[in-house]
Amino acid sequence: MRDIILLKLGEIVLKGLNRRFFEQKLLQNVRRRLSHVGEFEVNCLQSTIYVEPKTDFEDMDAAEEALCKIFGIASVVRAAGCEKTPEAMAARAIEYMRDAMLSAKSFKVETKRADKSFPMTSIEISRYVGGHLADAYPGTKVDVNEPELTVRLEVRERQAYVHGAPRPGAGGLPVGCGGIAVTLLSGGIDSPVSTYMIAKRGVHMIPVHFFSFPYTSELAKQKVLDLASTLTAYCGRMTVEVVPFTHIQTEIRQKCPEEYFTILMRRFMMRIAQAIADRNGAKAIVTGENLGQVASQTMEALGCTAAVCRVPVLRPLIGFDKEEIVQRSRQIGTFELSTLPYEDCCTVFTPRHPRTRPRLDAVEEAESALDVEALVQEALAGIERVRVGPDAEGGVKL
């Protein structure tokens, strides 16, 4: 009998009358992600998704890794199924848990009886199977208080299942159930993390990157595409909108006071992000801004940049310490890419003495020297769109 993967739902189970919508979206995401790994049957029953390989040749390790990164799943369990009889459960546990039992010094059995019609209680099943395991592996003692190994049994509708400790899932809500947002994606540490965090709330992300060739290199652009490609393991397929930003920055440099360079640049980014949001039906803009981290991220500066937007600006990292952001970037696999030495447009024409507490009227006066609408439309007309997502081997491609 083949292994099976059981996916335990997270906060979806707290939803009310629209819970079915969230479950269906999660099933779609699971099937889509697994389609690049192998052939699997995927069904949902009583707050658990069953992922069963259709042949003996499916890559179960790759499937398990992919499933751990899908938002909406609380835990991932690799299990072995068997008939719903005490004898079958004991025999399956002895066989399936062999390596773990031989390497552990102590164990206990825990049973979850989802099928309440089963004639034995959870405690009775645990005692029965635990006794057979103790006989089969006399070198591993029973310890119900602090065992080194916990053998888990689940008696469900169709079968019983034997497994060890579950792996944590990605949590959150299924991507696609929370609408669409535009996310500003630079090559730094912060913006990939902020993208991940809002995607975790079920939002489909449209990454926007501002590219200032020749002041920033093609390597810097590729770095951002690689970051977006890495994020697709969690966010699903995305289309990166690469915005030409050189002309806007040179115009700001030539016509505006130096102390306002950064804040004016940010206001153009937000205007362009707003236009992309309008084109795609997005209801928010996401940034990696962190209060007080740099001169353009004071409350006054953030207010001046958000003033040009009509949709909410979401800043999930606003109160994080830098080390907290770094830890999350390591967790999701973006840190090494983010620290490659290829600078993005935010480092171009950095003022020596930026205005840290700008007044909106002063910013608007400095900006009046520019043909704002023409520059925005020129940038929008020059956008390059790059699709990123999983390939047939479970990796990512451009």
Which residues have C-beta within 8 Å of that of residue 218, sequence separation ≥ 6?
Answer: none
Q: d(Cα 241, Cα 273) in Å, to the nearest integer?
A: 10
Q: What are the residue boundaries of the structural domains of the chain, listed by start?
A: 3-168, 180-397
Phi, psi for 82 (deg, rounded to 5): -160, 175
Where does residue 19 rank: exposed (0-12), middle (13-18), buried (19+ CB within 10 A)?
Answer: middle
pTM over 0.75, yes/no? yes
pLDDT at 352: 75
Residues with pLDDT less than 70, the chain: 1, 344-349, 390-398
Distances in Å between the Cα of 27 and the Cα atoms of 99, 179, 256, 344, 388 are 32, 17, 52, 37, 21
Beta pairing class for 149-155 and 160-163? antiparallel
pLDDT of residue 398: 30
CA dist 362 → 207, 355, 367 (Å): 31, 11, 9
Contact indicator for 208, 272 with CB cutoff of 8 Å:
yes
pLDDT given at position 1: 60
CATH architecture of the domain with residue range 180-397:
3-Layer(aba) Sandwich (3.40)
pLDDT score for 348 = 64
Q: Tell me the two tokens of residue 143.
A: 């310890």
Third-level CATH fold of 3-168: VC0802-like (3.30.2130)
Summarize pLDDT for 285-339 with one digit per residue, the tens.
999 999 988 877 899 999 999 999 999 999 999 999 999 999 999 999 999 999 9
The residues with which 207 forms a beta bridge, in sequence order, are 183
Q: Say what the pLDDT of residue 343 is.
A: 72
Q: How confident is the model at residue 350, as a pLDDT?
A: 75
Beta strands in the chain (DSSP E): 3-9, 40-45, 48-53, 73-82, 106-113, 141-142, 149-155, 160-163, 167-168, 180-184, 204-211, 238-244, 285-286, 313-314, 384-390, 396-397
φ, ψ of residue 135 to 5 degrees: the values are -70, -40
> Which residue has 């630079």 as its token pair?
186
Residue 170 · residue 66 · CB < 8 Å: no
User: Do the first three CATH levels of 3-168 and 180-397 match, i.e. the same topology?
Assistant: no
**Alpha-carbon distances, residue 170 vs 71, 76, 321, 337 (angstroms):** 5, 9, 22, 21
pLDDT at 64: 96
